[in-house]
Amino acid sequence: MELKKKGNDALIGSFSQMQISLIWTSAVDLDLMAFYKSKDGRSGGIYSQNYAGGSSGSLTSFPFMELSGDAGLGASGGNNREELRIAALDEMEEVWIAALNFTDASSGTGRVFADYDARVEVVTDKGESHTVSLDSAQSGSVALLCHLKSGFMGTSLVNNSDVMSFETFQQTVPGASAVKLSSKVILKQKGQKTALACKGFQATLSWKTAVDLDLHCFYRLKGAGEKSAPKKGILGKIFSGGSSDEEHVFFMKRGSKSASPWIYLDKDAGIGDRSGDNQENIYFTRLDEIEHAIIAANIFNKPRANFASYDGKVTIRGGRGEIEVPLMESAPGSWCIIAHIDNSSGSPQIININRTQADKPLLEEFI
């Protein structure tokens, strides 16, 4: 049954498991969330662990709900789908199902949800099926799609179709006040991307294994001119090359925070293959000046290194949250190209690359 209008409802029969699916094809990062108020007064939420304090829940213990993974990271189009499974509603007074546009909520903006080609499907293992379309013409960053309400006759599914700002959402829905946008986004797969909603940021390469990793940044500034004079000597042979407008920040050329290139490497850590809390930082202070950049790690004197074995990651800190890109490529190499910063369109984003190779990378290969 399709619940076409706000306020339409349907009685849900008994079930052993219910599946609630948020499905969309537009290039937008929507997050499926559930919030509940139990009959004994408890309230809380089930939402992605990419949010600080988020929980995917459990089917075998209270609240008897479990969320699938986080789809559409980085506002990617295609057949995006997130699922919530519910094993029991006996203890619940009400459960609210919401979709949050992370990009808009983070920037304080809001769009019309009707543009996202999205819908919610509610299916039980007894064969019941209901659909709520996300077709509200209201603008906002959160859509309260539907809710499950306990009553004398059983549990009813009600179409809410209510779009609101993130602040109104926190004030209106029980348990939603705990959602924090100062979250951590983890780009776990190659090709995953997410927006960089900041003017500048810090990129930290951290690792614990006893190896000497060196953090590098290959970049192209907006309106870049001719390549500077060639470097001399052995280091010039190793680290020179690339396209005429490609430049390079590394331990021998650390850049600047306060002048061009607005990229600065702080130190060289892990010398002598030391274990512990090793980290190196590159600061990007004027993202608006940068068109493209790749963040890479090079390992000293290990041409067939397995970067996935070093317990390493790059963490981006800036704006309202953190973005983490783990070192996950096990193919041998002395270079690992970890991430690509793409600001060519004026809407900067970071993309998980995780590619290893023997030779120094060229920026143009990743554009």
**DSSP conformation letters of 30-80:** EEEEEEEEETTS-EEEEB-TTSTT-B-EESSSTT-EEE----STTT--SSE
CATH 2.60.60.30 at 9-181, yes or no? yes
Please tell me what DSSP assigns to residue 175.
Answer: T
Are 362 and 335 in contact, with CB atoms under 8 Å apart? no
Token pair in block for residue 151: 């009553």
Per-residue confidence (pLDDT) for residue 295, from 0 to 100: 98
Please tell me what DSSP assigns to residue 227.
Answer: P
Are 224 and 291 in contact, with CB atoms under 8 Å apart? yes
Per-residue confidence (pLDDT) for residue 290, from 0 to 100: 96
What span, in angstroms and rounded, lies between the C-alpha atoms of 121 and 142? 18
Domain with CATH 2.60.60.30 in the chain: 9-181, 193-366
List of the chain residues with pLDDT < 50: 72-76, 226-234, 236-244
pTM of the model: 0.57
CATH homologous superfamily of 193-366: sav2460 like domains (2.60.60.30)
